[in-house]
Chain A
Amino acid sequence: MTQDEDSALRDIRVLDIAGEIGLYCTKLLADLGADVIQVESPCGHPARGIGPFYHDEIDLEKSLYFFNLTTNKKSITLDLDSSDGRDLFRRLVPTADVVVESFPPGHLDRLGLGYAGLAQIRSDIVLTSITGFGQWGPHSRYKASDIVGLAMSGVMWLAGEAEDPPNRFYGNQGYISASIQAAAGTLMALYHRDVTGEGQQVDVSMQEALSMAQETSIQSWDLANLPRRRIGAARIPGMTVPGIGPYECRDGYVFGYLGTPGGAPWTEMLRWMADEGKAEDLTEEPYLSFIQDLGLPLLSQALTDPPTMQRIAPFLAHIENVLKRFLASKLKVDAYEEAQERRILIGIVSTPKDLVEDKQLRHRRYFQDLYHPELDETLRYPGPPARLSQTPWRLRRRPPLIGEHNAEVYGEIGLGAEEMADLKGAGVI
């Protein structure tokens, strides 16, 4: 056992019998110090089959997707579909504080392993259930992969260009969001257990977990009957707003949000262009006066007043073109840094490479290295989402091989070598 003395969840054991939707939940708990046991079917967790793979070698022990979501965890194999497997699982439950699962609602109850069944074995158990639509309600048995959660939550409707199909968020964000809410719910339940000694069930629906990300969509409809929809690069429907949206640079893109509160006004952008001799005719009338007025009040007025819109549209289009030419002459990181020096709200559109090379992330040593002896290579992983001064987030252990901790974990509950060999022979572990 290599539990860290100074980790926040050092006394917590988690049994993860969930599918892909729960992997990030238990990673968050493991990275905070919990002893997380990934319970895999004897042929390995299904997410091990998902790429990208280490050097593109398709191999259940080389999925980078799975690696990323299983740092600090242990792995045992266990066939929950067999009654011997379930008996074995029942023997593990007394050692656990938390069970995380994602079966269709009712499935575990039928096997006697739902909340009531688990609480009989360990009365203060926390059972965290993560599914597409939660434990009850008319859609609770609907099949939900990531994109189905994004669709039903209302967030996908808002993403992409108007003329394209709505866009899926990259990176299984439905699963990630469900997992984040599940980890928070689990910790809330654990805190309650610490105080009162009482366990309970945490019900997480991917659809509900994502809902907050609709931003103002629900309230726009509820308060004003204004339907929000996806508008892609336009940012404001039917209007070109110079400085808002993606701009192409020599080597990629930056993204602007000019003229909004918090950043410098458009006049500062004009000064920057003029300082470099690239403001073209924008420093002359009528553009100069127009840019001095260019901000949210004018744009809001134009939105509700077609004549104003008609009057200003050609100005906006011209300014947009000059701005495009200006930013197109720059490297994206230069545009980012120079804009920020002037308090202009422009950010780099980072690629994964940009992030790994990012000055700020490097300075803060965000990325962290883990040695994989089987690959004889040190892999670089994303680091802590948050840093806790007394109970540090830490990568202590590389992701587990399939069933790597069978002997250790089953040994703890008194399984002898012979019994283990029998169970292995029967395909239970």
Chain B
Amino acid sequence: MAAPPPLTGIRVADFSWFGAGPICSQALATFGAEVVRIESETRIDGLRSVAPFPPDKNSYNVSGWFNNYNAGKLSFSLNLNLPKGKEIAYRLVRWADIFITNFTPRVVERWGLTYDELARVKPDIVAAYAPMQGMDGPRRDYLGFGAVLCPIAGFNHLTGFSHREPVGLGTNYPDYVVNAGHTLIAILAALRHRHKTGQGQRIELAQIESSVSALGGALLDYTVNGRVEERQGNRVPYASPHGAFPCLPVERPLWPGEERPTDEVAPGDDRWCAIAVLNDEEWQALCTAMGDPDWCRDEKFSTLLGRKQHEDELEQRIGEWTKDKSAPEVMEILQAAGVPAGAIQTAQDVLENDPHLKARGYYVYLDHPEAGRTAYDGPAFRLSKTPGYLRSPAPCLGEHTYYVCKEILGMDDEEIADLVAEQVLY
């Protein structure tokens, strides 16, 4: 007997796009809020037009990237460049409890969506602005998407092996967890304050600042010790061994038209297991699990200091043991022995083979009218009495324009028809 979700009755006017904003509003929808995404056919969310797409499909409604961040929302297609479009935007703001955008300050101003303007329409609005560099300052109008934010915020300099260039994390990580999460936290805190006092407020999250906040240790090392930390690969000063160890390769499926590479281990076929030995007890457990080979008894490996000093040799020796076992096998042997270890999973592993994620039902399959049955990320946290759930697949572009006009804004059919004729609505 589940209680209604916590945000039942909370309404969100979502003017955000791309990654962090929509991920945040998706969490609000997952926990019960009614979220209307205001979209524009002249400025379509870039993610609607990029891969991955289902085979032989390619429309604004089938991108797996876009859809994964927009489950449970309504899509309302509005032309904000026309005065009547702005007027309707304000009507939605009057309806809403929460407003979100990650447009640049210039666009926010052009469309009349500054906090002062919104507060005139809806005094207790919780309005969240999440531009790249902040709403003021000399660089407020700088361009940026996640791919550039990651290096600017310091992740690239600090991640990877020291002999490599600062290539980054492979994805725009700060957008998906750090910035979306910090925005959600700020909104929930503000909502709580409003519930207690009746007072709304303005939230400003500069993506660069939010991202930098996740790298605090390295910053203090500089501000206090004057030290600029460098890339250290997978090693850390306080644990050894600590890294990724080679396991039995697995032949990956080929891309369409691709020939199987001739490398000994083709890129993508390699498999690895992460191992982290945090103390001497775990080191002993690792030695036992490996069958107590002679080299393990060497005095030089018996302390953290010694293992750090001889880390190249240590890693090579452990790699000799892992390399003819599958990654899940290494993980299971070590976990049974009490050593933290985890297979470095591919998407296929995560989605299809991981028995744990499957048992927990983390990925949710939803039926979309155009994209078909596809996988979505489930809630990133679970509440025992009011669990969140994805109520519907991502909306098609403008799918709910009529519904929003009629049911939310209370327009009659004639008014709607006029607005369509005037191209205020698409």
Which of A161, A359, A379 is B167 in contact with, Cβ under 8 Å? A161
The answer to whether A191 touches B6, judged by C-beta atoms less than 8 angstroms apart, is yes
With a cutoff of 8 Å between Cβ atoms, the chain B residues found around residue A117 in the complex are: none
* Residue B108 interfacial (CB < 8 Å): no
With a cutoff of 8 Å between Cβ atoms, the chain A residues found around residue B256 in the complex are: 304
The 8 A CB mask of A161-203 against B (1 = contact, 0 = none) is 1111111111101001100111111011111101110101111
The answer to whether B342 touches A144, judged by C-beta atoms less than 8 angstroms apart, is yes
With a cutoff of 8 Å between Cβ atoms, the chain B residues found around residue A355 in the complex are: 153-154, 212, 219
> Can you list 7 contacts pairing A with B, beta carbon distance less than 8 Å?
A188-B386, A203-B384, A212-B177, A218-B350, A233-B167, A356-B219, A363-B137
**Closest Cβ of chain B: how far from A63's Cβ, in Å?**
9
**Closest Cβ of chain B: how far from A308's Cβ, in Å?**
13
The answer to whether B383 touches A188, judged by C-beta atoms less than 8 angstroms apart, is yes
**Closest Cβ of chain B: how far from A230's Cβ, in Å?**
5
The answer to whether A351 touches B192, judged by C-beta atoms less than 8 angstroms apart, is no
**Closest Cβ of chain B: how far from A241's Cβ, in Å?**
12
* Residue A262 interfacial (CB < 8 Å): yes
With both beta carbons as reference points, the residue of chain B lying nearest to A148 in the complex is identified as B342
* Residue A371 interfacial (CB < 8 Å): no
The answer to whether B220 touches A381, judged by C-beta atoms less than 8 angstroms apart, is yes
With both beta carbons as reference points, the residue of chain A lying nearest to B65 in the complex is identified as A216
The answer to whether A191 touches B188, judged by C-beta atoms less than 8 angstroms apart, is yes
Q: Which of B121-171 contact A (CB under 8 A)?
A: 133-134, 136-140, 142-145, 147-161, 164-171
* Residue A138 interfacial (CB < 8 Å): yes
The answer to whether B201 touches A391, judged by C-beta atoms less than 8 angstroms apart, is yes
On whether A145 and B192 interact (CB within 8 A), knowing A191-B6, A348-B152, the answer reads no
Which of A169, A261, A380, A386 is B173 in contact with, Cβ under 8 Å? A169
The answer to whether B201 touches A138, judged by C-beta atoms less than 8 angstroms apart, is no
**Closest Cβ of chain B: how far from A35's Cβ, in Å?**
15
Which of B183, B189, B220, B252 is A379 in contact with, Cβ under 8 Å? B220
The answer to whether B228 touches A353, judged by C-beta atoms less than 8 angstroms apart, is yes
With a cutoff of 8 Å between Cβ atoms, the chain A residues found around residue B350 in the complex are: 152-154, 211, 214, 218
* Residue B404 interfacial (CB < 8 Å): no
The answer to whether A169 touches B234, judged by C-beta atoms less than 8 angstroms apart, is no
The answer to whether B209 touches A220, judged by C-beta atoms less than 8 angstroms apart, is no
* Residue A253 interfacial (CB < 8 Å): yes
The answer to whether A32 touches B189, judged by C-beta atoms less than 8 angstroms apart, is yes
The 8 A CB mask of A112-126 against B (1 = contact, 0 = none) is 000100000000000
The answer to whether A215 touches B159, judged by C-beta atoms less than 8 angstroms apart, is no
The answer to whether A216 touches B51, judged by C-beta atoms less than 8 angstroms apart, is yes
Q: Which of B156-205 contact A (CB under 8 A)?
A: 156-161, 164-173, 176-178, 180-186, 188-193, 195-196, 199-205
With a cutoff of 8 Å between Cβ atoms, the chain B residues found around residue A292 in the complex are: none
Question: Which of A47-55, A87-95, A275-283, A402-410 interfaces with chain B?
Answer: A47-55
Cα of A196 to Cα of B8 in the assembled complex, Å: 12
* Residue A346 interfacial (CB < 8 Å): yes
Instruction: Describe B's contact surface by its main secondary structure.
Output: mixed
The answer to whether B189 touches A148, judged by C-beta atoms less than 8 angstroms apart, is no
The answer to whether B208 touches A219, judged by C-beta atoms less than 8 angstroms apart, is no
* Residue B362 interfacial (CB < 8 Å): yes
On whether A177 and B177 interact (CB within 8 A), knowing A151-B345, A153-B350, A167-B160, the answer reads yes
Q: Which of A5-43 contact B (CB under 8 A)?
A: 8-9, 11, 28, 32
Q: Can you list the 3 inter-chain pairs with the closest CB atoms, starting with the nearest? A: A219-B64, A185-B381, A158-B170
* Residue A84 interfacial (CB < 8 Å): no
* Residue A295 interfacial (CB < 8 Å): no
* Residue A427 interfacial (CB < 8 Å): no
* Residue A228 interfacial (CB < 8 Å): yes
Cα of A364 to Cα of B229 in the assembled complex, Å: 24
The answer to whether A381 touches B216, judged by C-beta atoms less than 8 angstroms apart, is yes
Question: Which of B79-87, B273-281, B293-301 interfaces with chain A?
Answer: B273-281
**Closest Cβ of chain A: how far from B7's Cβ, in Å?**
7
* Residue A306 interfacial (CB < 8 Å): yes
With both beta carbons as reference points, the residue of chain A lying nearest to B69 in the complex is identified as A212
**Closest Cβ of chain B: how far from A72's Cβ, in Å?**
13
With a cutoff of 8 Å between Cβ atoms, the chain A residues found around residue B367 in the complex are: none
With a cutoff of 8 Å between Cβ atoms, the chain A residues found around residue B145 in the complex are: 257, 260, 262, 345
The answer to whether A180 touches B169, judged by C-beta atoms less than 8 angstroms apart, is no
On whether A363 and B186 interact (CB within 8 A), knowing A55-B225, A347-B152, A381-B216, the answer reads no
With a cutoff of 8 Å between Cβ atoms, the chain B residues found around residue A157 in the complex are: 344-347
With both beta carbons as reference points, the residue of chain A lying nearest to B355 in the complex is identified as A138
Cα of A361 to Cα of B159 in the assembled complex, Å: 22
Cα of A207 to Cα of B219 in the assembled complex, Å: 26
Q: Which of B262-294 contact A (CB under 8 A)?
A: 267-268, 272-274, 276, 278
Question: Which of A74-82, A129-137, A310-318, A418-426 interfaces with chain B?
Answer: A129-137
Which of B164, B215, B268 is A161 in contact with, Cβ under 8 Å? B164
With both beta carbons as reference points, the residue of chain A lying nearest to B341 in the complex is identified as A148
With a cutoff of 8 Å between Cβ atoms, the chain B residues found around residue A203 in the complex are: 381-384
Which of B183, B195, B239 is A195 in contact with, Cβ under 8 Å? B195
Cα of A134 to Cα of B379 in the assembled complex, Å: 13
* Residue A140 interfacial (CB < 8 Å): yes
Cα of A70 to Cα of B64 in the assembled complex, Å: 39
* Residue B356 interfacial (CB < 8 Å): yes
Which of A51, A349, A385 is B205 in contact with, Cβ under 8 Å? A385
* Residue B359 interfacial (CB < 8 Å): yes
* Residue A229 interfacial (CB < 8 Å): yes
Cα of A65 to Cα of B46 in the assembled complex, Å: 38
With a cutoff of 8 Å between Cβ atoms, the chain B residues found around residue A51 in the complex are: 237-238
**Closest Cβ of chain B: how far from A146's Cβ, in Å?**
8
**Closest Cβ of chain B: how far from A225's Cβ, in Å?**
6
With both beta carbons as reference points, the residue of chain B lying nearest to A154 in the complex is identified as B350
The answer to whether A134 touches B382, judged by C-beta atoms less than 8 angstroms apart, is yes
